[in-house]
Every structure is written in C-alpha cells, then in structure tokens.
Amino acid sequence: MLAQSDLAPEQEELLFDADKAAKSLLALIGNVLDFSKIEAGKLAVENVDVEPDLVIQEAVDIVQSRARQKGIQVSASVGAGVPATIKGDPTRIRQILLNLLGNAVKFTAAGGVHMRLSVKAWDGDICHLLFAVHDSGRGFDAAKADELFEPFTQDNKSSSDMTEGTGLGLSICRRLVETFGGEIGCDGVPGGGATFWFTLPAPVVTPEQTGPRTDLSHRTVLFIAPPSSQQPRELLAYFQARGATVLMAEDSEAALVIGRKSLLNGEHIDLAIHVLQGSAWPAAEVAATLRELGAVPIIAGSAGAAPDWRRALHAGASYLLVDSSVEPPFDRNIRRILGGTTKASTRLARGHRVDFADRTALVGKPLLVVEDRLVNQTVIKRQLTALGISCAIAANGLEGLEKIKSVEHFDAVLCDCSMPKMNGYEFTRALRRLELDGADGAHMPVIAMTANAFREDMETCFNAGMDDFISKPVIMARLVAVLLQWLCADAAPAVSGGGPDAAALARPTGPVHLAAVFELMATDDRKVVVGHLKDFSSVAWTSWKHVETNASDSNTAELGLAAHGARGEAQSAGATALGELYESLELSAKAGDMGSVARVMRRIPAELARVADFIDVYKTGAQT
C-alpha cells in the first residue's frame, strides 16, 4: 500500500530496503527451521516423479531478477543422457540449487553464472546426476573450501551485503545432499570464479527425451572463426538444417562490424558463436558489445572442465559448447538460451500506481467488506480509501448480515470465502434469501475475495450466488476494474506510469493477454516481456507433446498433472484462451471423461499455433 502512494526518491529507496530486509529475514528463518529439523532427524523428504530439466530452469528463473539488477547473466544447460524423469524430492533439490545459484549471483560482480546438469555415472537403473554451478565471481582460497560447508561460516572479507544471513545455507545443502546419498564440493581460484557441485543418485522413471526439432527459420547465427577452421562444420550443418540464417566473420573485429551493420539495417543477430583458436579466449569486451547488439555469445571450445566454464563466463559467454559437438540435448539448450536473450533494465518497476479517468464515479460509494483476518481488513480498507470509497467491516458472515439489516444500503459486498461462524458461501445464500423476501427485490453484488483461483472454486462462488471474484492477494488494478464494472458500468479504468491497463486485465482479448503479462512481470519494458514470451515459446510445444503422450496412454492421472502444468505455463504467458483449454482438459481428465478429453485435445494445437504466431509478430515489434 505504501508503494502505491507518492514517495520521494529517498523514501522509495528506504521502502525498497525494508522489503529486501523482510525477504532476507524470511529466508533466514527458513534456514534456521530447516537446520533444526535436520539436527533433530525430523526432516521430511519426498520421493516423487521429478523432471530435473524443469527443476533447474525454475531455480534459474527465480534468481534471474536479482542477477539482472546486477547486470550479470544466468544461464542453464543439460548434458547428454540426462533422464527426462527421475524419482526424488523436487522441493529439496530446488532448495539446494537456489542456495548455490543465490551465492553465485551474490558473489559475482561481472560476467555470469551457469547451471550445468550432466550424468556422472550409471549404476543399473540408478543415474548419478551431477549438478554444477559455475560463476565468474570473486572465487576463494581452495584451502578453505571445506570450511565453507560448516554451520555459521561466512566470508568476513566480503561487504555487509554479501554476508547477510546466518551462514547456514551451504551447511544445509551438505546435509540434504548427504541425506539423498550424494556428495557435495567446490573449487575456486581467488579472483577467478568458483564452482559448487553436488551429485544425486536417482532412480530413472523416463529415459532421456530429445523433444521436438527446433525451428530456427527466424533466427540469425553469427560464426566467428577463420576460414581455415574445421571445427564449426558440424555446428554449421546443425543450424543450416534448422533453417537459420548463418553469417561468417573471420575475427572479433569483423564480427562487430557485421553486428553493427545488421542493427542499422533493422536486422537481429540471435547467437554469436566464437570458435576458439588454440588457447586464446576472446576478450570480455567483445562479448559485451555483441550482447548490446542483441546476440547471445557462445564459446565453442575444446574442453569442459570447471575452469573452462569459468573462463567462458569471464569472457562474457552464456554457454560453453565443448568440442563444437552437437549432442542430443543441444536442441533444448539452444531453446533455453534463446529464451533468455533479452537484457532487462537494471531496475524493474516496483509496482504500478493506479489511477483512473472517472475517479469521481467511485468516490463515496458505500461498500461492505466481510473478512475475518485483521491484516486483510487493513489492506482492503486502505485500498478502498485510496479510491475514495467508504466501507464498513464485518469479521464474518453473521456480522455481515447484521450490518446489512441495520444499515440502509450498501452498493456491493467484498466477501472472503473462508471465515468462522458463517463463511462467504453461507453468507451469500442467506443474503439472497433476504433479497427474495424484500419488497423491492434489489440485488446486491457480492464479489468474492479468494486465494483459490481454480475453475471449480470459481464455480462454487457462482453457485452460492456470488457475482464475481478477485484472487488474493488483491491487485489494485483488478480491484478497480471489478468495482467499476459493478458499481459504475460507464467508467473506464486506466493505469498510469507505464503500467498495464486495468480494463484490459479484466477483459483479455487476442491469443496473448499482454496487460496480464505486464502485471505479472511488474513492467511493460518490451525487452523484458519479449524474453518472458520467448521462455514460454521454448517449452510450449514440449508441454503439449507431454500432454499428448499421456492422453494416448489413457493415463488420466498423469494427463491431469500434465494439463495442470501446461495451464500454469500458458497463464504465466498471458495465453488466456489456451490456459482455459488446458484447465478444461485437466478437469475432464480428473473426471475420467475421455470423450471431453478428446474434444478439448482437438482444439489445443490451433490455439497453440495462434499464440506462437502472436509471439513471433510481437518479437518483431509489429504487434504492441
């Protein structure tokens, strides 16, 4: 709420610091609780199906925001032979990765961080996976490597920002890895970066899957290699076979000339692959310039040990292609790398200040808020007050009915669903009975405030007689849109300060609802949004193939899970109609209705294609 108000720059900075401190405290408390559970031998672990490829990408996505604020790159890749599905604990694996990735970002001021997943060994049906996080940061003295995993150990030579926390993160990682039967370690060089790694023995559920062939017909790849070089021959064949436009440069200087010329001509270079000659690594300035021109730098080298990865990151590369070989998961790695080509602004929007043209239309409107939790009462009251709306508060449905009976009139009710004594559904049914008994037959709009946003939860709201719903936490723009719809239909909300249009948030149109993406990303910066949509494009068809596979096997349980995951991906990309189709598919699968499943399945590919076409056009700048 404070962020929604007009703040001086110094106040905004203090607020940002307070938010950062609160999140640090939350992480600290989580570490202390985990440490105490481990010490007491009461740490619960799961053994469920895990897609390691997705787990590492989720972890990378979480740290991207902080990395972008520091101006560094975070990327990920998967080596040959990594199984598509294993048995394990996805939450704890992600926790380990977030600790390692978070430390890497924290101690890296320039260059980048790369998460590499590969197969270390096989033991029958058990695959020993190797997770390695490389960075081009400050490094450390190798003699002190073992000390880093001791509880409450921190690097006292760091700045206060770098030593925030308790020093429990790596200790917890070690305990978790040992619980899973793996090993953890690290190596580094002072000033030369660090590598933290761990192994994970895991039963294999599904062998490696290569996935669909990548279409690069709209991509341009720049090779930096002398004419005499034989190394990139296989790579050239790979990109040409997938329809990419290939440009050649003899050296770095020629590459920059080609890159600047392409930019002037309105063209875009997606990848710049620098083929190493001997032991000479390219200068970081070259990679930085290529990145500014829009290309993602890749180095094709002849080795793949941890020091080589760190040298590649120091040189500004996002990925090290070992021996220039096109291994089976190369398609997936290229899709992942291309999905992260955008360079976001260092400071993303911290929130949208809401304004709307017809503010006077809402001013003075009397509302009833039925909500039992004090904090939620305070927040919604402040939001309504900021809009000029007067409100009364009731702690449960019974109190709400009493206020309605004793007060002349409320224009609408904002109602929580889960409350003691009388919940929101019971309250609404009772209100509708009162209205039927009334003389004027007036209908009071009831807008549910619920943390549940599944279709079945919405249907429960509507079946109880509610008119609309707002998901918690209540976003100001959504609140404005809903209230204007029910209280003053002629008013049109708008959001100032470069944020999304609130009316658009409530009424999505087209295959991709851009305003929803702006709200999710907390910015309408085109580069940021394009990067997010590229991330979705890189997984959308793979997710669909996963859904198809389970549908063909008539595995309704797995089909429901696959549809649920695909729905989340679609919603995060603003693909509203596609998300609704996946939601229908999920519900049909849960009900075992294979006839409905078949009908929905026939509609999804066309909607997927519509979304893909929209994203392709949006990336060019023709669609706004």
Fold of 521-620: Four Helix Bundle (Hemerythrin (Met), subunit A) (1.20.120)
Q: Give me the mean pLDDT over the 614-620 stretch.
A: 79
Q: Mean pLDDT over all residues of the chain?
A: 79
Q: What's the pLDDT at 509?
A: 44
Those residues whose C-beta lies under 8 Å from the C-beta of residue 242, and which sit 6 or more positions away, are 213, 214, 215, 216, 217
Which residue's structure tokens are 């290229």? 334
pLDDT of 199 > 90? The answer is yes
Q: Give me the mean pLDDT over the 301-306 stretch.
A: 80
Q: What's the pLDDT at 211?
A: 64
pLDDT band of residue 115 (cuts 50, 70, 90) is: very high
| 363 vs 365: CA distance, rounded Å | 6
| 224 vs 23: CA distance, rounded Å | 44
Q: What's the pLDDT at 355?
A: 46
pLDDT of 326 > 80? The answer is no
Closest CA to 194 of 113, 130, 119, 120: 113
Q: What is the CATH number of domain 28-202?
A: 3.30.565.10
DSSP string, 400-417: HHHHHHHSS--SEEEEES
| CATH for 354-493, options being 3.30.70.141, 3.30.420.40, 3.40.50.2300, 3.30.479.10 | 3.40.50.2300
User: Is the previous residue joined to 500 through a cis bond, with omega within 30 degrees of 0?
Assistant: no
Q: Helices 526-552 and 556-572: crossing angle, nearest 10°?
A: 170
The CA–CA distances, whole Å, from 582 to 551, 604, 607 equal 13, 8, 11
pLDDT of 66 > 60? The answer is yes
Q: Helices 90-106 and 169-179: crossing angle, nearest 10°?
A: 150
Q: What's the pLDDT at 34?
A: 72
| 17 vs 468: CA distance, rounded Å | 36
Q: Give me the mean pLDDT over the 102-127 stretch.
A: 91
Q: Give me the mean pLDDT over the 338-355 stretch.
A: 39
Side-chain half-sphere of 551: how many Cα atoms within 13 Å? Answer: 24
Q: Is there a common fold for 220-338 and 354-493?
A: yes
**For 245-268, how does the pLDDT look when each residue is reduced to its tens digit (9 = 90+)?**
889 888 888 888 888 888 777 778
Q: What is the CATH number of domain 220-338?
A: 3.40.50.2300
Q: Give me the mean pLDDT over the 233-255 stretch.
A: 86
Domain-by-domain residue ranges, the chain?
28-202, 220-338, 354-493, 521-620
Contact at 8 Å (CB) between 416 and 424? yes
Span of 241-255, 322-336, 531-545, 596-610 with lowest mean pLDDT: 322-336
Contact at 8 Å (CB) between 449 and 417? yes
Pairing of strands 354-356, 85-88: unpaired
527 CB-contact burial (10 Å; exposed 0-12 / middle 13-18 / buried 19+): middle
